[in-house]
Chain A
Amino acid sequence: MTRAVGPATLRARRARAAWWLLAPTLAALALAAGWPLARTLWLSLTDATLADPGDFAFVGLANYLEHDAGQWYGVLADPQWWRAVRNTLIFAVASVALETVLGVAIALALDVPFRGRALVRAAVLVPWAVPTVVSAKLWAWMLNDEFGVLNHAALALGLIAAPIAWTADPDLALVAVIVVDVWKSTPFVVLLVLAALQMLPGECYEAARVDGVHPVRVFFRVTLPLIWPALAVAIAFRALDALRVFDLVYVLTANSASTMSISVYARQQLIDFQDLGFGSAASTLVFLTIGLAAIVYLRLARLRPEEVR
């Protein structure tokens, strides 16, 4: 036994302390995330039902895809699943594109100094603070076919001849869902872009202005590349959120086939139809989709826009 503690032992002791400090968090994550995820993966390989989850048989990949007596079965053979995939992709691409364009535009406007700017910035963040379920209800009311204020206004202005059933019309329901998401989530993009804009060096602009470069060119040549890292993060966060959308779709249009997202599809199988095995297979596919999107993003995020061509 030596009394002097060498740097190596000190480092080892610190490392041990690190694991102790991490232990509660890692244990909680293992219990609340790791275990349920592993069980979902396992259940997707069984024919378990919600009514009696203890009584099940191993069925391999049959919940995903199975060929039996000339017929295809499984999630991947269900046209409703593919409809949900299509809905989710349309929703994700449209809402994230609109949120990005609007978010950048609003952030640019709010970056210009004017009186009362702090107040306007605060007001713009309000939709972000509104709970998703409440947002869905606010818009469901405004879009109501009989009493909705938007139909009233459009009728009064002569824009439409008859009230439109926004959330009930299969062709329009997805549009309604996208509109509500854009309202609710654009502030998030504004916030991240504004923060990036505030950190930009003023000299670039001075130089560009002196050279008489058109503002639009300045935006694409100077501003956009500089805020791109922040914008990429905002887009990634929004895209991952959009791909797993549940609340908005469920509250606005319930289990309607015309808007059903992949998360809504999976929950319907799991809970409403009580099919734990089949529903878990759908859930697993959602997980894989999001995982794939996350990996693609992590790859792309290292590239700058001028390199992506």
Chain B
Amino acid sequence: MKVSGRLRRAARGALFGALLAAILAFALFPLYYALVTSVTPSGELFRAALVPPGWTLEHYRGVLAGPFLRAILNSALVAAAVAALSVALALGAGYALARIPFRGRHGVLLAILSVSMFPQIAVLAGMFELVRGLGLFDSLGALVLSYLILALPFAAWVLTTFARGVPRELEEAAALDGAGPLRTIARVFVPLLRPGLVAIGLLVFVTAWNEFLFALTFTLSDAQRTVPVAIALLSGASAYELPWGAIMAAAVVVTLPIVALALAFQRHIVSGLLAGATKG
């Protein structure tokens, strides 16, 4: 009786272990395989080996020598600008929506929520025209402007959720000292919400770093291209011979920093995502 119970427990443990192994393999194998491919010499790629049969940095050298480095810089610039801009704008909006009762508040929240559901394609034609009209076509400015539609509703929504959690007493103390809304935001909300602001900034950064449709449509030249477009358009001598080693090297270069960021700030990011998914 006792032995069979222990056996059952062991069997169940082994089964659970196998389940976890399967989950981990599903989640991590594609990235692991990209890493393997990126260091495999070109002549060995056809073997589809699970561990690198040789070792080379040729793919990394090739990718980083081309226009790809410029694309990384462009992506970083655009993503940082969009993150800073969205957080700054959303601070005021989030405070107002969370803390000031005014007529039309519900309508504004609903408008922000609706914009966050817009399919990008619905604004593509109008945005194309606007970007051209403002002389921003094929420039990073076009991307900063168009990414606001992806970033700002999310940032404002999540900030509203976070701002609701700030104790009212602190705000009232600031008001008694004669601080206006802007001073209250700067003195009370920014310090208290710093983890939340980091989370929102990071999530916006990642969104902008990953965006593809607008970048594909509003930029043309290598000098203005961002990382996702550069990777999608990486090609070899002919359409039938894609440089898989180089593509995987590029994939590793742009993904590892994001994965590292996501893991380092995991708790922040999870809290931001959860706040974004709660109803207002």
Considering the complex, which residues of chain B in the window 178-222 have a beta carbon less than 8 Å from any beta carbon of chain A? 180-182, 206, 209-210, 212-213, 216-217
Query: Which listed residue, A31, A106, A251, A267, touches B124 by the CB 8 Å rule?
Result: A267
Given the complex, which residues of A lie within 8 Å of B46, measured CB to CB?
146-147
Instruction: Give the residues from 165 to 192 in chain A that come closer than 8 angstroms, CB to CB, to chain B.
Output: 183, 187-188, 191-192
Least Cβ distance of A265 to chain B in Å? 9
Is A305's CB within 8 Å of the partner chain B?
Answer: no
Q: Are B34 and A138 in contact (CB under 8 A)?
A: yes
Chain A residues within an 8 Å CB radius of B50: 149
- Does B152 lie at the interface of the complex (its beta carbon under 8 Å from any beta carbon of A)? yes
Q: Are the C-beta atoms of A134 and B126 separated by less than 8 Å?
A: no
When distances are taken between beta carbons in the complex, the residues of chain A under 8 Å from B258 are: 129-131
Q: Which residues of B contact A (CB under 8 A)?
A: 16, 19-20, 23-24, 26-28, 30-31, 33-34, 37, 45-46, 48, 50, 89-90, 92-93, 95-97, 100-103, 105, 108, 111-112, 114-115, 117-130, 132, 145-146, 148-149, 152-153, 156, 180-182, 206, 209-210, 212-213, 216-217, 227-229, 231-232, 244, 247-248, 251, 254-255, 258-259, 261-263, 266, 270, 273-274, 277-279
Cβ A37 vs Cβ B119 within 8 A: no
- Asked if B119 and A287 make an inter-chain contact with CB atoms under 8 angstroms apart, the answer reads yes
Which label, helix, strand, loop or mixed, suits the secondary structure of the A interface? helix
Q: Hey, which chain B residues are within 8 Å of A267, CB to CB?
A: 121, 124, 213, 217
Partner of A25, one of B89, B181, B274: B89
**Are B119 and A109 neighbours in the complex by a CB distance under 8 Å?**
no
Contacts of B263 in A (CB 8 A): 122, 125-126, 129
Given the interface pairs A25-B90, A149-B50, A276-B125, the reply to whether A183 lies near B153 with Cβ below 8 Å is: no
Determine if A246 and B120 form an interchain contact, defined as CB atoms under 8 angstroms apart: yes
> What interface size band does chain A fall in?
35 or more
The listed residue (A137, A266, A271, A290) touching B247 by CB distance below 8 A is: A137
Q: B interface, by DSSP: helix, strand, loop or mixed?
A: helix
**Which one of A146, A149, A243, A250 has the highest number of Cβ atoms from chain B below 10 Å of its Cβ?**
A149
User: Is A290's CB under 8 angstroms from B117's CB?
Assistant: yes
CB neighbours (8 Å) of A133 from chain B are: 210, 212, 228-229, 231-232
Of A90-98, A203-211, A219-227, A277-285, the segment with at least 4 beta carbons within 8 Å of chain B is A277-285
B121 touches A283 (CB 8 A): yes
- Residue from B108, B118, B232, B274 within 8 A of A192 (CB atoms): B274
Looking at A1-9, A16-24, A65-73, A74-82, the stretch in contact with chain B turns out to be A16-24
- Checking A29, A266, A301 against B112 with a beta-carbon cut-off of 8 angstroms, the contacting residue is A29
User: Which chain A residues border B130 with CB–CB below 8 Å?
Assistant: 31, 35-36, 39
A89-115 residues with Cβ-Cβ distance < 8 A to B are: 106, 109-110, 112, 114
A247 touches B213 (CB 8 A): yes
**CB <8 Å contact, A32 and B152:** yes
CA distance A183 to B229 in the complex (A): 21
Asked whether A39 lies within 8 Å of B255 as measured between CB atoms, the reply is: no
CA distance A110 to B255 in the complex (A): 25
A112 to B19, alpha carbons, bound, how many Å?
A: 12
Interface pair B232/A29, CB less than 8 Å apart: no
What are the residues of chain B within 8 A of A43 when measuring CB–CB? Answer: 125-126, 129
Q: How far apart sit A283 and B23, CA to CA, in the bound complex (Å)?
A: 38
| Complex alpha-carbon distance, A257 and B113, angstroms | 33
For A123-141 the 0/1 string (1 means CB < 8 A from B) is: 1111111111111111101
Q: What are 22 contact pairs spanning A and B, CB under 8 A? A: A24-B92, A33-B115, A123-B24, A125-B262, A127-B30, A129-B206, A129-B262, A133-B229, A135-B30, A137-B251, A138-B31, A142-B33, A146-B46, A149-B50, A151-B48, A183-B30, A188-B273, A191-B270, A247-B228, A266-B121, A267-B213, A267-B217
Asked if B96 contacts A40 (CB within 8 A), the reply is no
